[in-house]
């Protein structure tokens, strides 16, 4: 049995029912009470942020109405969330996902990686693997078996084999190829429609500003073709995405939501809440609000900085968010600071096993617990590496600042360790060729990096992502020394083939009926 404060803090993780008010000793009025009945989430799950959700009611209402309408008329819809880093895009999708799962739907997520780590169709491949429960540690035969079994359960027998073959190409699970890209897109469409018919589905694809051209072509095609299925696709991106992809705004199936800074009133309320446990908080609220400029992430980081240092440091409050984060990291105990630097080399998402592999004094689990309590990292409820705990930085800026504190030599040593771990842990290392190329390049092994880049180029070509294949070959040529004659010849030949084939692969989104408002 709990009171109001505990109920408010844990209501997203515990199902409660109201109990009779309690007359407590020393209290004039009865206290409200709640009975805990069941956990509603796995132990590792937690909200994206401990901060209250403020100032986004209108945007969340539009997303919820879009989801509801999709379930009523079985018309798939596309929504694009655009905003600056830290403005609350991911938090908004988490709130929508909570509503979706509370009404019987499911959420699948994919994320485009930064240029040096991205792979053709990478975010869509993550969705396919998540839908089929394929782990990074699964061997190629195991992954193919899981995909085949899932396809057979979702699709008619005469479609299942063809669709799963094409999905395996998009998800880089096979070396098969097809004569036309159009058949890959058609199979992706049939798979998603079948997922939606099985269970209403929300797809969230994050960081589209880093997506490859092939993925965006696929998403544009899907946005106007998906039909007869309760499915909402939410794309999340920074503002520069729409500048680089002007055709996106003209898609008839898309509605764009621009997330702005919090209003002064909402920013003030958020600061007050986050500093509620700090002595003399009222004296520094205005300073925090002024420095953060209505950005929720900046507000949280400033509040965390002050909570750990005390309000006496408010006069020296950093106004640049990177300086704020750097100040927090500098104040960490040495073991925590070292672990967060090691994790930064892996990426925004990392695994406990990789950190253990780099050397640990036996306190790694406790150190990660402490970093989680400090709200710098978060545990994921599922992991792409079976049997290993997956974690993520609360925000990519935290990872960026932590990474910048490492010397060039330390970075190279750690990137090599990460690459060796992934080669050992991945069931099929070639499936992660672009990521391995990224780590070997930063480790200083140009030849290994180039070999993986050429492998990734072959994979991209099989999926008709020819521009991406050409780009990867160019990167390989830039890395390879002149005396690597055979490798350079292979890279030049592969690039020439990709560019020539790509000339015939231009894709125009077919015309569609008007659908400018997803809920209208």
List, as one string, the DSSP characters of 446-492: HHHHHHHHHHHHHHHHHTT-HHHHHHHHHHHHHHS-TT-HHHHHHHH
Provide the token pair at 124.
């869509």
Judged against a pLDDT cut of 60, whether residue 289 lies above it is answered with yes
Fold of 422-508: 1.25.40
With bands split at pLDDT 50, 70 and 90, how would you rate the model's confidence at 317? Answer: low
With bands split at pLDDT 50, 70 and 90, how would you rate the model's confidence at 113? Answer: confident
Judged against a pLDDT cut of 70, whether residue 116 lies above it is answered with no
Q: What is the mean pLDDT of the chain?
A: 84
Residue-level pLDDT at 44: 34
With bands split at pLDDT 50, 70 and 90, how would you rate the model's confidence at 387? Answer: confident
Are the C-beta atoms of 79 and 63 separated by less than 8 Å?
yes
Are the C-beta atoms of 364 and 339 separated by less than 8 Å?
yes
Top pLDDT among 39 and 64 is at: 64
Are the C-beta atoms of 497 and 461 separated by less than 8 Å?
yes
Residue-level pLDDT at 518: 38
Give which of 129, 112, 197 is closest to 168, Cα–Cα.
129
For the chain, how many residues are written?
Answer: 520
Residue given tokens 């109201």 in the structure block: 18
Residue-level pLDDT at 110: 93
Judged against a pLDDT cut of 90, whether residue 326 lies above it is answered with no
| Domain range summary for the chain, segments of one domain joined by + | 4-39, 57-258, 264-330, 422-508
CA distance 505 to 464: 8
Residue-level pLDDT at 516: 36
Residue-level pLDDT at 165: 93
For the segment 10-30, what is each residue's pLDDT rounded down to a tens digit?
776 788 888 999 988 878 888
Least confident span in 113-127, 133-147, 398-412, 486-500: 113-127
- Please determine whether the domains at 57-258 and 422-508 fall in the same fold group of CATH: no
CA distance 314 to 274: 15
Residue-level pLDDT at 406: 92
CA distance 47 to 297: 15
Judged against a pLDDT cut of 80, whether residue 279 lies above it is answered with no
With bands split at pLDDT 50, 70 and 90, how would you rate the model's confidence at 128? Answer: very high
Q: What percent of the chain has pLDDT over 90?
A: 42
Top pLDDT among 516 and 166 is at: 166
Give which of 5, 10, 34, 6 is closest to 21, Cα–Cα.
34
Question: End-to-end CA distance of the chain, in Å?
Answer: 45
CA distance 325 to 305: 8
Q: How far is CA 49 from CA 5, 9, 113, 439, 481, in A?
A: 17, 12, 22, 30, 47
E strand or H helix that includes residue 87: none
Top pLDDT among 362 and 319 is at: 362
Judged against a pLDDT cut of 70, whether residue 308 lies above it is answered with no
For the segment 176-225, what is each residue's pLDDT rounded down to a tens digit?
888 888 999 999 999 999 999 999 999 999 999 999 889 999 999 999 89
What b/e sequence results for 263-274 when a residue is b if at least 16 CB atoms lie within 10 Å of its CB, and e otherwise?
A: eeebbbebbeeb
Residue 278 DSSP symbol: S
Top pLDDT among 416 and 175 is at: 416
With bands split at pLDDT 50, 70 and 90, how would you rate the model's confidence at 77? Answer: very high
Which CATH number, 3.30.450.80, 2.60.120.10, 3.30.365.10, 3.40.50.300, labels domain 57-258? 3.40.50.300
Does pTM top 0.75 for this prediction? Answer: no
Residue-level pLDDT at 50: 58
Strand order across the beta sheet in which 231-237 lies:
106-111, 201-206, 231-237, 77-82, 254-258
Mean pLDDT of 397-419: 90
Strand order across the beta sheet in which 377-379 lies:
349-351, 390-393, 377-379
Judged against a pLDDT cut of 90, whether residue 450 lies above it is answered with yes
Q: Would you tell me how many other CB atoms lie within 10 Å of the CB of residue 157?
A: 7
CA distance 409 to 219: 40
What b/e sequence results for 323-341 when a residue is b if at least 16 CB atoms lie within 10 Å of its CB, and e otherwise?
A: ebbbbbbeebeebbbbbbb
Sequence-distant (6+) residues with CB within 8 A of 323 are: none
DSSP H helical segments within 381-427, as ranges?
396-404, 408-425
């Amino acid at each position: 049995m709990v009171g109001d404060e505990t109920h408010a803090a844990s209501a997203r993780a515990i199902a409660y029912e109201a109990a009779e008010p309690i007359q407590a000793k020393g209290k004039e009025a009865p206290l409200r009470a709640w009975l805990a009945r069941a956990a509603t989430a796995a132990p590792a799950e937690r909200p994206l942020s401990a901060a209250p959700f403020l100032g986004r009611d209108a945007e969340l209402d539009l997303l919820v109405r879009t989801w509801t309408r999709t379930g009523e008329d079985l018309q798939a819809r596309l929504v694009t969330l655009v905003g600056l880093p830290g403005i609350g895009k991911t938090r908004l999708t988490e709130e929508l996902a909570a509503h979706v799962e509370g009404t019987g739907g499911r959420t699948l997520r994919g994320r485009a990686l930064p240029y040096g780590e991205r792979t053709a169709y990478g975010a869509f491949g993550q969705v396919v693997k998540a839908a089929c429960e394929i782990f990074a540690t699964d061997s190629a035969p195991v992954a193919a078996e899981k995909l085949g079994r899932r396809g057979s359960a979702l699709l008619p027998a005469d479609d299942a084999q063809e669709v799963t073959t094409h999905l395996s190409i998009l998800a880089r699970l096979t070396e098969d190829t097809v004569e036309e890209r159009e058949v890959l897109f058609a199979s992706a469409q049939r798979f998603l429609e079948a997922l939606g018919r099985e269970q209403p589905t929300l797809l969230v694809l994050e960081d589209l500003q880093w997506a490859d051209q092939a993925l965006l072509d696929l998403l544009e095609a899907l946005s106007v073709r998906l039909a007869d299925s309760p499915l909402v696709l939410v794309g999340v991106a920074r503002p520069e995405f729409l500048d680089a992809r002007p055709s996106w705004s003209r898609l008839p199936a898309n509605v764009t939501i621009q997330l702005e800074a919090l209003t002064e009133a909402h920013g003030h309320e958020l600061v007050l809440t986050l500093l509620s446990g700090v002595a003399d908080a009222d004296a520094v609220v205005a300073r925090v609000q002024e420095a953060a400029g209505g950005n929720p992430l900046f507000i949280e980081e400033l509040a965390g900085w002050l909570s750990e240092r005390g309000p006496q440091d408010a006069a020296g409050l950093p106004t640049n968010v990177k300086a704020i984060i750097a100040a927090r990291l500098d104040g960490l105990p040495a073991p925590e600071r070292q672990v967060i630097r090691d994790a930064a080399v892996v990426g925004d998402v990392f695994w406990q096993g990789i950190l253990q592999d780099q050397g640990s004094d036996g306190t790694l689990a406790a150190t990660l617990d402490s970093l989680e309590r400090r709200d710098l990292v978060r545990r994921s409820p599922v992991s792409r590496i079976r049997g290993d705990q997956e974690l993520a930085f609360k925000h990519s800026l935290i990872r960026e600042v932590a990474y910048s504190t490492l010397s060039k030599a330390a970075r190279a040593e750690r990137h090599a360790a990460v690459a060796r771990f992934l080669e050992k842990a991945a069931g099929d290392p070639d499936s992660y060729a672009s990521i391995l190329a990224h780590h070997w390049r930063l480790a200083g092994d140009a030849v290994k990096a180039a070999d993986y880049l050429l492998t990734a180029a072959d994979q991209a070509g099989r999926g008709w992502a020819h521009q991406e294949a050409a780009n990867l070959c160019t990167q390989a040529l830039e890395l390879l020394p002149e005396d690597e004659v055979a490798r350079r010849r292979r890279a030049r030949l592969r690039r020439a083939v990709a560019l020539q084939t790509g000339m015939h692969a231009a894709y125009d989104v077919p015309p569609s009926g008007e659908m400018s408002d997803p809920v209208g």
